[in-house]
Structure 1
Amino acid sequence: MREFTNLGWPQTPYAAGMRPFAKKVRLLTGMSIQWADEGTGAVPIGAAAVFIPVHRTASRDITAETFHFGYRTVAMDPDSHRTDIPAFVDGILVQGRREAEIIGWHSFPDDLHALHSLLSTPHAGIDAVGAAWANRAERERSTALLVDTARDTMRLDSAIKAGGLDFGPVLWQYRAPDVLQHVYEDLTAPGVLAEDLVWHTQHIGAAALMSALAVALLAGQEAERLSWAEPFDVAQALRLAAWDTMPLAFDTTPLRGN
């Protein structure tokens, strides 16, 4: 499994000494998992978490050029085990359930159902957040506010449009199901070339990061902690934050082969 991050302490994103933020910040966390079809069912091929500083009660106005956020995003590679990505997600949720200010996810029950079909042992973070999700209005003391950005089964694409977010004409293609399926099949084919491995893992990492960032922004908007002038140029914010860790994904050229 390949990981891309701009955090100095990625294993403990909520710790007091984490970077790139100052100490003692409240973090909104947006989560996403990318899936492909392995023939007998869905398999996770990438996941990401985005961490955005927010105020305890007030809304923070952001712009693409000055927007500051942390992230961890992972992508499968030919040596990955099918439980690696669920373990990554679980590790963040174990900490985030009590340390995050807000956890946002788009249609978490759908991902939860797919995760449970893969996991043969309990996973504390996934199980605890999953149990709390159905009764999000009854928030347990000292736990994160849980926000589902699906808004009564709204597609993520529709929620993004309604929220005034703009990914531009190129980047949003990365997370299209048919595109990710093709990447998955290339990665699992015998004898994948080293240069293709680099490209495909960055592609998956970028797709997961884009979805997680969209979810984080929408969750912050819904919780009245983030605001922006529409349209918000998410593509620019992503390139400024991630061009150095995923340079093949966040240049300005169209997808390879297009």
Structure 2
Amino acid sequence: MKKILASLLAAFALVTGAQAAGGALVLDKFPKERVSDLAALQNGAKLFVNYCLNCHSAAFMRFNRLKDIGLTEQQIKDNLLFPTDKVGEVMKVSLDAKDAKEWFGAVPPDLTLVARSRASHDGSGADYLYTYLRTFYRDDTRPTGWNNLTFPNVGMPHALWELQGQRAAKFVEVADPHDPTKKTHQFEGFEQLTPGTMSPQEYDSAIADLVAYMQWMGEPVQQQRQRIGVGVLIFLAIFFVIAWRLNAAFWKDVK
């Protein structure tokens, strides 16, 4: 329980800091249907293991749980089991916490519950992650050489830059509406510096799959829970009608 609480607090700190820094940014809508698409979840799991699990852990998710999204144990062993040789192990990383703090300024938070934490915080959950992972840009003033439109001055480098390519963000100076003597920087758009291995459409689709997996990982039984909930409501509605008629039949002769 202490580990889960620590993970939630770390994820909460990440997303609340991002909200404070990214304030007025309008989040892009995550395609929610991906969460129930097994092919999308499988691709998202592959991206997560290859690009996220190098620094971030998912300490409350076991590799063998991926069988719930249609993967066989052999597929997991052959394609996704990089940090360990046991399919029953949790998704952990070998990155030393001291090294991580020295390199990035903070230990990368565990990602098992990050989508769920953001959703419980302000409801943006998947929309925030979907926007965040698509708004990195080159910034030579930052220690990592990267910055992010959704989370300004983020310590995380752009782990997926080879897929998206390198981009620069264009800003223009505008007068502050509350104080005309002050100038603020307003985002105008991105400029592609070098191409990635994916087209913009392919990259957006890949990020949608990755976010779908992260949302599923936060609550693997979400779809099952919702189906059971609908079934329970239907049962209660039918039982209410039966109980109402039984009550009427029982009391009909009582004056």
TM range (shorter): under 0.3
Structure having greater relative contact order (Cα 8 Å, sep ≥ 6) = 1
Task: Tell me which protein shows more helix as a share of its residues.
Answer: 2
TM-score, scaled relative to structure 2: 0.28
Looking at CA atoms only, which structure, 1 or 2, has the larger radius of gyration? 2
